[in-house]
Structure 1
Amino acid sequence: MAKIVLRSDSDEIKDIHVIFLHGLGGDANGTWLKNGSKDEAWPIWLAKDNCDLNIWTVEYDAPKLKFNSSGMGIPDLAINIFEHILRVSELAEGEIIFVCHSLGGLITKQILRIANDQTDREEAQKFLGRVSGVAFLGTPHLGADIATHGHNIIAKGLLRCLTFKQPSIVAASLSRNDPNLRELNTWYRGWCQHKAIRHLILTETEKMFGIITVVKPDSSDPGIAGVRAIPIAVSHENICKPNDKNDEIYTHIKGFISQKKREFHELWINSRFYNDTNSWEGYSNWANCPHGTSGEYFFDEQVRLLDSSSNNNEGHKGLDGLSLIRGKLLGKKASIRLVGLSGVGKTRFVQALFDERIGENPLPHRAVFYTDMANTPTPTPQALAEKIAGEGRKAVLIIDNCPPDLHRSLTTLCSVESSNTNLLTVEYDLREDQPEQTEVFSLEPSSIELIEKILNARYQHLGQQNSRTISEFSGGNSRIALALAETIGKDENISSLRDEELFRRLFYQRHTNEKSLEKAAQYLSLVYSFQINSDKLYSDDITFLSNLSEIPSKTMFESAIELKRRNLVQQRSKWMAVLPHPIANRLAKYALENISSAIISSNFNESTNERLLKSFSRRLGYLPQCEEAKIIVNDWLSENGLLYKLYTKGKSKLAWILLNNVAPISTKEALFHIEALAKQPEFCTRKNKQFTEITRDYGVNS
């Protein structure tokens, strides 16, 4: 029966478990003594040199000879040891690295195969997802000649006569070119290619007792793609016994174990979702700062964070706002929604919550799970939240570009009784209702002085005049400021340019005014968002906007991609949007000025795709100072306008959505429109499906 013993300090269980498996005829103590010592176990050196390690040894019965044919072979030993590992509570979490001598390497491979085959056993799959490395020290992957000799009839008879013993079952299974060993090695080579498992392979080059090489080079190298076996000038019994800390055996193993460990979030997700994961991160450079997480976070002396869910209208300055959010996320079951216009620095603010150099009580790095919905993460945030909350794990779940419906779903999942998970979602849409059980905070644009600091830190060639000009033009939006700064050459002065000229420069490429790019951007801005990818050559949205603008679909598509490169378009999965909104609104205004009302009417009508109609109406709602937008809205609200046509076709829900979106443009006409509708029977009663929205938004009483 196997026995697993913790050899390092048991007072505090660390993040990484190193498990040592001895070989044939070895034991958990003697195998791992330094060369020439009777009591000094060298694996303990590792724990002293690396404070993140727990050192474990496995004791199991693997004699070379036995009086009878009883005992366990490799598969049975692997099952026995594997079940013991799963029963050790201290081994239930954390990264696992195996260090194996000889037979121990074969048993480790068999353990991993057993775990892999138990696809329906959750604890087996969790274990498999946490294994990050295997070190093979003189492992006979294809068997050993010395074991083959034990099968010889004469040798067996001689052993019987001299010792009354015969090779044990496990010893007999190590015969050279044993088909079971070959098959196991073939499986392992293919399996590990698709796993995030590192390998170290040390091979012996000296003969044992000067007589025989126990494991020859072709057997000690398993042939793993991309991994080169390292020959060591020792014999088989000494390849696991370094002389001291300078011995190459120890330095190789220490270096292997000390390589960059897997992040906690990666280890945890992979162990729960069986490596079917992507686009999840621990604490890292989420905001894509030029200097990574080491870059300085600049604070603003003006109010930047507003609490939309309280009566506090004064707001909070830079560090005060950061400390407030930290405090809430250090509590339990917090649900926070951070909103603000694109480009005001929301993701950078979230990253700063974990920065230990800033203020007090930074959020811990270890327990954060971050994703951006634009990257289509796997597993889904709902699946991850359900698993984390169900386990009661203390964690912070951060979802960037998170739609309102997803936030509501995650809030529910993170609020279950067993949950110890806090939720923080980020979104640029300011027009949504406040979700229940949620504290909503709005991040306001930066001050001119703060934008100047950011520009001077990133673009030292700009100079004070250029930095001030760009900062004032940006209106506190860092994305606009950075996009404009990219167009400024060395020794160029833009301080005398008007706002209109500065705006046009966003579409320059080093002094070249790209008219076609600006025109495409104008038409792409007419809709709040558009689909960029589809199964077709070009998406229906791109084709629609191409027809509207008379710009070829190929050019429209390429323009959208180029605008994304310039940070003037953001993408979420297959959807894109021209952002920040001040840029998109200005572009849309230019587009409407250049399109006749007849073209608008013929393209945006009762037969137009509903999603595009909604998207166009949302953009119109952002253009209160645009006369062309008012003309369109007034036409929609007229007696024979678009909204009446939609009502006639039974599309009252769509009509009401459009009305809500465009009402800020022509409030008086919108109210007249509602007044006319109210004269219809049952319009202001609960039989009307939009009754709740009517009474909530406009205060109409039945």
Structure 2
Amino acid sequence: MATLECTYRPQTRGRFSIVFIHGLGGDPRLTWMCDPKNEATFWPTWVGEDCNCDTWVLGYGAKISRWSDTAMALPTQGTSVLDRLDSEPELKGRPLVLVGHSLGGLVIKAAIIQPSTMKLQQYANLAGRVRGVVFIATPHNGSEIANAISFLKSARTNPQVGDLNADNPYLPILDYMFLGEFKWRGFHVRTFVETKPTHGIMVVKSGSADPHVPGEKPIPIEADHLSICKPENRREQIHISLVDFIRDCSIDAPPAEVADDQTLNLLRQQTTERDVIFLRVGKKRATYDWVLSDDTVEKAPFGEIWEKESKERAEARAKKLIRLGLMEPRGTEEVETSALGEALLAYDDARRKS
């Protein structure tokens, strides 16, 4: 079961809510403390204070061995974490920055792709509110140490250990889907890489720690896999760089850069003229009935004739556009054109004029 705790609230709430997600065998609080007996060393609090943002820690089943506790496989864990974030009242409508250490970074990726890959449209709005993703020593291509642990049958390892195996076929698919979400949603990414071995073993090698996000170069940190997320003071590079990254994140996705012309052309081929009308009218948040009523729009832009649809047809059309990322749900009965939908409209306008 995923848990979520707010660990810092500024007097005046800042632009983002920041959520820290621990890794395999980690703990919601101890993962981020260089001295587990001293609360003053709790890193998320420092980040919240320096960015004037509320900070949260998310916990989930991440035990290495089933002798300690059971844990869900990575895709299932992604859905669980997604739901916990989406159902938190204090995070409703808030732009998010997600910070993941080790396996926590993979959990973030699995959560972000769920609305598109699993057609979980109730979470599309949350995925669209992610404005920053931070990977700290995340094994995007797996870890050799996970392979070794998996061979120890006496350890009765949980499924997540297998998810981290270097030969896990799910990881390349997760990479591909995450890069697609990055391209469409336009969020920011920052990557930190360990450079020192842990007990003589390099847990996540530099090649595996690179998510291969266009324009993002991993930042090497003089720390091992366990200490990289436990800075001893605010002068350490990872703290300064993370705070700078959060300050530079934009709240809204830039519609013009959400997708290139090739992607927009493919999307336009999958949408009808009536879909485009829906997107134009849906630029203002509205209920399905309002968007599709005869009274609201007698004649759509560019001379298309507006014909009223049943609520069932309207909901089906809305779900199709949400699935394509062109609209986002606002509650249970309302929809609104997304940043990608705005980009498609601009592309359609330019095509009509040419």
Aligned to 1:579: none
**Which has the higher relative contact order, 1 or 2, with Cα contacts under 8 A spaced 6 or more apart?**
2
Is 1:196 aligned with 2:183?
no
Q: Of the two, which has the highest radius of gyration? A: 1
Is 1:113 aligned with 2:113?
yes
Match of 1:174 among 164, 179, 194: 164
CA distance in 2, matches of 1:81, 1:151: 24
Aligned to 2:51: 50
CA distance in 1, matches of 2:124, 2:74: 21
Aligned to 1:629: none
CA distance in 1, matches of 2:350, 2:171: 49
User: Residue 151 of structure 1 aligns to a residue in which SS?
Assistant: helix
TM value normalised by structure 2: 0.70
User: Residue 128 of structure 1 aligns to a residue in which SS?
Assistant: helix
- Aligned residues of 1:36 and 1:243 also touching (Cα < 8 A): no
Structure 1 residues 70 and 26: CA distance shift in structure 2, 3 A: closer
Identity over aligned pairs, percent: 26
Aligned to 1:220: 209
Structure 2 unaligned residues grouped into runs of 5+: 260-275, 291-300, 302-348
What does the per-residue CA deviation read over 1:343-399, in whole Å, with 9 as the maximum and x for residues that have no partner?
Answer: xxxxxxxxxxxxxxxxxxxxxxxxxxxxxxxxx99953x4233439x99xxxxxxxx
The letter of the residue matching 1:248 is Q
- Aligned residues of 1:94 and 1:130 also touching (Cα < 8 A): yes
The letter of the residue matching 2:173 is E
Aligned to 1:75: 75
- Aligned residues of 1:66 and 1:166 also touching (Cα < 8 A): yes
Structure 1 residues 68 and 22: CA distance shift in structure 2, 3 A: closer
Aligned to 2:177: 187
Following superposition, the deviation at residue 120 of structure 1 comes to 6.6
Structure 1 residues 149 and 44: CA distance shift in structure 2, 3 A: same
- Aligned residues of 1:193 and 1:225 also touching (Cα < 8 A): no
- Aligned residues of 1:118 and 1:124 also touching (Cα < 8 A): no
Structure 1 residues 99 and 239: CA distance shift in structure 2, 3 A: same
Aligned to 1:5: 5
CA distance in 2, matches of 1:205, 1:189: 25
Q: CA RMSD in A?
A: 3.5
CA distance in 1, matches of 2:16, 2:172: 31
Provide the aligned length of Structure 1 versus Structure 2: 282
CA distance in 2, matches of 1:172, 1:260: 34
Aligned to 2:326: none
CA distance in 2, matches of 1:32, 1:213: 20
User: Residue 282 of structure 2 aligns to a residue in which SS?
Assistant: helix
Structure 1 residues 48 and 180: CA distance shift in structure 2, 3 A: same
- Aligned residues of 1:138 and 1:203 also touching (Cα < 8 A): yes
- Aligned residues of 2:131 and 2:249 also touching (Cα < 8 A): no
Following superposition, the deviation at residue 56 of structure 1 comes to 1.0
CA distance in 2, matches of 1:378, 1:100: 37
- Aligned residues of 2:10 and 2:49 also touching (Cα < 8 A): no
Is 1:230 aligned with 2:231?
no
CA distance in 2, matches of 1:257, 1:249: 12
User: Residue 134 of structure 1 aligns to a residue in which SS?
Assistant: strand
Following superposition, the deviation at residue 203 of structure 1 comes to 0.6
Structure 1 residues 141 and 35: CA distance shift in structure 2, 3 A: farther
- Aligned residues of 2:24 and 2:63 also touching (Cα < 8 A): yes
Is 1:385 aligned with 2:296?
no
The letter of the residue matching 2:238 is I
CA distance in 2, matches of 1:197, 1:167: 34
User: Residue 55 of structure 2 aligns to a residue in which SS?
Assistant: strand
CA distance in 1, matches of 2:178, 2:58: 22
CA distance in 2, matches of 1:254, 1:44: 12
Structure 1 residues 128 and 4: CA distance shift in structure 2, 3 A: same
The letter of the residue matching 2:228 is I
CA distance in 2, matches of 1:62, 1:104: 9
Matches within 5 A, 1:61-72: 61-67=61-67, 70-72=70-72
CA distance in 2, matches of 1:113, 1:237: 27
- Aligned residues of 2:10 and 2:48 also touching (Cα < 8 A): no
User: Residue 167 of structure 1 aligns to a residue in which SS?
Assistant: coil
CA distance in 2, matches of 1:3, 1:261: 27
Aligned to 1:87: 87
Following superposition, the deviation at residue 200 of structure 1 comes to 0.6
CA distance in 2, matches of 1:91, 1:74: 23
CA distance in 2, matches of 1:190, 1:113: 9
CA distance in 1, matches of 2:277, 2:232: 48
- Aligned residues of 1:135 and 1:199 also touching (Cα < 8 A): yes
What does the per-residue CA deviation read over 1:230-279, in whole Å, with 9 as the maximum and x for residues that have no partner?
Answer: 1111100011111111100101111111114224xx69xx8xxxx79xxx
TM value normalised by structure 1: 0.37
Aligned to 1:601: none
CA distance in 1, matches of 2:10, 2:206: 38
Q: Choose 137-146 or 7-16, whichever is displaced more.
A: 7-16
- Aligned residues of 2:14 and 2:51 also touching (Cα < 8 A): no
Structure 1 residues 149 and 8: CA distance shift in structure 2, 3 A: same
CA distance in 2, matches of 1:180, 1:10: 39
Structure 1 residues 534 and 107: CA distance shift in structure 2, 3 A: closer
Structure 1 residues 131 and 534: CA distance shift in structure 2, 3 A: closer
Following superposition, the deviation at residue 195 of structure 1 comes to 2.7
Following superposition, the deviation at residue 150 of structure 1 comes to 1.6
Structure 1 residues 11 and 4: CA distance shift in structure 2, 3 A: farther
CA distance in 2, matches of 1:245, 1:534: 49
Match of 2:230 among 212, 218, 241: 241
CA distance in 2, matches of 1:66, 1:534: 57
CA distance in 1, matches of 2:282, 2:49: 39
What does the per-residue CA deviation read over 1:86-121, in whole Å, with 9 as the maximum and x for residues that have no partner?
Answer: 111111112111100000000110001112235572
Structure 1 residues 166 and 261: CA distance shift in structure 2, 3 A: same
CA distance in 1, matches of 2:51, 2:71: 38
Structure 1 residues 16 and 149: CA distance shift in structure 2, 3 A: same
CA distance in 2, matches of 1:75, 1:259: 30
Following superposition, the deviation at residue 186 of structure 1 comes to 2.6
User: Residue 4 of structure 1 aligns to a residue in which SS?
Assistant: strand
The letter of the residue matching 2:117 is D
Following superposition, the deviation at residue 13 of structure 1 comes to 4.9
